Structure 1
Amino acid sequence: MNPAAEATGPDLRRNFDLKDEIRDYWSKRSETFDLAFGHRIPPGPEFAAWQQPVRAFLGDEPLRVLELACGTGEVTRLIHDLGHDVTALDFSEAMLAVARKKHAGKPRLRFLLADAENTMEPDERYDAIVCRHLVWTLTEPQATLGEWFRLLKPGGKLLVFDGDWAKPTAVGRLATFAIRQIDRVIGPDNHYDGALSDRHATIMQNLPFADGLTVETLMPMMKSAGFQTIEHASHQPIAAAQRKTANLRNRLRTFVYRRFIVCAHKPG
């Protein structure tokens, strides 16, 4: 046990241990993360579909953007290609190593090893914050939304891509059954959580959003943190683009969970 963690009390000590587990899990996944369906964003229709909400919510003018939990730098590319000045943050050195290699030599791009829940960045530094598949992993979500509010300039925007990864939809349960049958016939897809899926499940059980993250849960929390004019957009165009080039098993995966896009505005 880290002595600093020992001094923080039982709740924060539990979060310290959990965050270590989360960091270790994602660091191990960094080696094959881009091979997993839904994480890499290939050029073409899928890239355009992911980029469209960023363009729509952030606008055409170059901004100073903080990307949280950048991982291997896939979302980094779509933000940076729009002309924004990007700081891409992650707390896994292994993930950042992949991202740095992928984007070597690019201007207007800074990589930062830091904790998305406590960035240590200055007040009102950024015009926008973007994150994909991060909010469901937060150990202190309400406090973290307050941290992100602090980092934004007046009029800044928080753009979240996420989903309810705990409960498949009604159609998703049928899709999951079909995926299991495919796995039995041709073997499992070892790059899709694969051998680490038990660890993934254990981590999720210990998170505040263990029962699932929904728009209906997230929006009031954003308002409590000070955000206003919260907009909700459909993830369906992205899923439809993914299905254009995916195999049957991966097309089925796009139906399993309810995913969403939310943009929250800090008052100007």
Structure 2
Amino acid sequence: MGHEVTGIDLSEGMLEKAKQSADNMGFEIGLFHGDAENLPFEDCSFDLVVNKYLLWTLQKPSCAVYEWGRVLKPEGRVFAIDGNWFDPRPDRHIKRMLSELTERFAKKNQYNLIFKNSYAPIRNSLPLYEKISPENISFLFSETGLVNTEINPLPEVQKFQRNKNSFSQKLLKNNSIFLISGQKKQE
């Protein structure tokens, strides 16, 4: 689409996957190994910062959001896509438990077991691990200086995900994807 694209990730493996994907599609993008909480870019370098499923994995999410604002040009925007994975409402909690039991019983999708084993040792050091929600992220954006914050529940994405799931997944899965956007103030 004519844009200059820069990607950053802490994981060398994810950077390699991004490079392969870009190469397969014939895109030239700049890829950098780095930390979202301490970006290696100059102030006011970008028009847009986009991330997906990242905030809940960070030890210092406020540092990351501050950094995103720092590297944005005035009136630049942040788009953060995430999910309310641990929605505390009783119906969502029950769905998560039933989904885990069903997957264990069917011995399908070892992802949940790998996920739990990987994050168990560090989950207490991740402030948004169980507190990721559109409201909390909107507050975080505002607290770190972003303005014009908007929440979009992405109904089209949720519908797509429901349609591709099996019957039991449709009943039990927690489709809670959302987009939060915020804007850097004009200086």
Give per-residue Cα distances to partners, 1:85-144, cap 9 Å, x unaligned.
211111111111122122216334121111111111111110000011111122122222
Matched, 1:90 2:9: yes
Higher RCO by CA contacts (8 Å cutoff, separation 6 or greater): 2
Percent identity among equivalent residues?
25
| Residue aligning to 1:24 | none
Matched, 1:204 2:123: yes
- Matched residues, number: 185
Contact (CA 8 Å) 2:10, 2:35: kept in 1 or not? yes
Whichever residue aligns with residue 148 of structure 1, its letter is W
Matched, 1:260 2:160: no
Matches within 5 A, 1:70-85: 82-85=1-4
Cα distance 1:249–1:97, how it changes in 2: closer, same or farther (>3 A)?
farther
| Residue aligning to 2:69 | 149
SS at the partner of 2:44? coil
Contact (CA 8 Å) 2:85, 2:174: kept in 1 or not? no
Q: Structure 2 stretches of 5 or more lacking a match?
A: none
CA distance in 1, matches of 2:39, 2:75: 20
SS at the partner of 1:107? coil
Contact (CA 8 Å) 1:160, 1:262: kept in 2 or not? yes
Matched, 1:219 2:135: no
Of 108, 114, 121, the match for 1:188: 108
SS at the partner of 1:103? helix
RMSD, aligned CA: 2.3
Return the TM-score normalized by structure 2: 0.85
Whichever residue aligns with residue 68 of structure 2, its letter is W
| Residue aligning to 1:240 | 159
Contact (CA 8 Å) 2:138, 2:150: kept in 1 or not? no
Cα distance 1:223–1:93, how it changes in 2: closer, same or farther (>3 A)?
same
Matches within 5 A, 1:24-39: none
Whichever residue aligns with residue 100 of structure 1, its letter is K
CA distance in 1, matches of 2:172, 2:48: 30
| Residue aligning to 1:64 | none
Return the TM-score normalized by structure 1: 0.61
Q: Structure 1 stretches of 5 or more lacking a match?
A: 1-81
Whichever residue aligns with residue 267 of structure 1, its letter is K
